[in-house]
Amino acid sequence: MDAVLENLPYLLGGFLTNLQLAAFALAGGIFLGTLVGLGRISKRPWVYYPVTLYVNFLRNIPLILVIFWFFFVMPILIGKTLDPFVSAAVSFVVFEATYFGEIFRAGFQSISKDLVSAAYSTGLTYRQTAAYILVPIAVRRMLPSLITQSIITFQDTSLAYVIGLQEMVRRTTIVDGLEVRSVQLYTFVAILFFVICFVGSRISLHYEEKSRKAKVL
């Protein structure tokens, strides 16, 4: 355990970078994802087709390629080298938004047209129907998927080590290079990721159960 304890502040500093990157990725990804979701149910072809192309393209290439691509291609396009954190954050937002967008699309599409008609037929306006019926039902149905995708995003932040970002996995390889304590070091990293993600998946399960009891799923 010495190798872990002696380098704990350094390793946890890397973990903080994972958390920060995940925070940016989720905030940006969910925001952009909402717009993507709306674009995917849009009846306007000039919105629907470009958004659909973007979603289908990115969902069919590995994240690690998107990270590389932004890191190596952006400097050519904008003429200067990006900071690895900024580059990774942009890649994550652009990539995760396609996944969140599909979750939002499914959430809205799962609500039947007649349920909306029923709300309208009692005199509720579009805004009231969205506020009291559409959004509450969609969010309840989406919550487990949103949390699951958030956990995946968090795990994926470690991929940013490929462009030299000083996150925890990158720092662990550095410490391991000096101390040669691979088993302890990587076990520690694995446990840390496990604890965070396990707690997250339990929360997701809790909401799923709650929705199931209320039978909105």
Query: Do 96 and 25 contact (CB within 8 A), yes or no?
Result: yes
Query: Do 75 and 81 contact (CB within 8 A), yes or no?
Result: yes
The smaller minimum CB distance to another protein, of residues 97 and 134, is found at 134
- Show the site string, 84-113: x = touches another protein by CB under 8 A, - = not: ----------------------------x-
* Smallest distance, another protein to C-beta of residue 124, A: 6
Whole-angstrom Cα distance, residue 203 to residue 151?
11
CA atoms within 13 A on the CB side of 192: 20
The smaller minimum CB distance to another protein, of residues 1 and 131, is found at 131
Whole-angstrom Cα distance, residue 136 to residue 130?
8
Query: Do 15 and 197 contact (CB within 8 A), yes or no?
Result: no
Whole-angstrom Cα distance, residue 29 to residue 35?
10
* Smallest distance, another protein to C-beta of residue 95, A: 32
The smaller minimum CB distance to another protein, of residues 60 and 122, is found at 122
State how far the alpha carbon of 54 is from the alpha carbons of 59, 96, 151, 157, in Å: 8, 12, 23, 22
Backbone angles phi and psi of 192, in degrees to 5 = -60, -45
The separation between CA 170 and the C-alpha centre of its own chain, rounded to angstroms, equals: 21
- Show the site string, 140-179: x = touches another protein by CB under 8 A, - = not: x---------------------------------------
* Smallest distance, another protein to C-beta of residue 47, A: 21
The only residue of 51, 66, 89, 137 in contact with another protein, by rule CB under 8 A: 137
The smaller minimum CB distance to another protein, of residues 109 and 187, is found at 109
Q: For residue 208, give the nearest of 57, 216, 73, 86 by alpha carbon.
A: 216
Residues in binding contact with another protein, number by CB under 8 A: 21
Structure tokens at 193: 């990721």
Please report, as residue ranges, which positions from 109 to 128 form the binding site for another protein (by CB under 8 A). 112, 114-115, 117-125, 128
The smaller minimum CB distance to another protein, of residues 81 and 125, is found at 125
* Smallest distance, another protein to C-beta of residue 131, A: 9
Residue tagged 């958390």 (tokens):
19
The residue range among 12-20, 133-141, 181-189, 194-202 that interacts with another protein, by the rule CB under 8 A, is 133-141
Which residues bind to another protein, rule: CB under 8 A? 112, 114-115, 117-125, 128, 132-133, 136-137, 140, 214-216
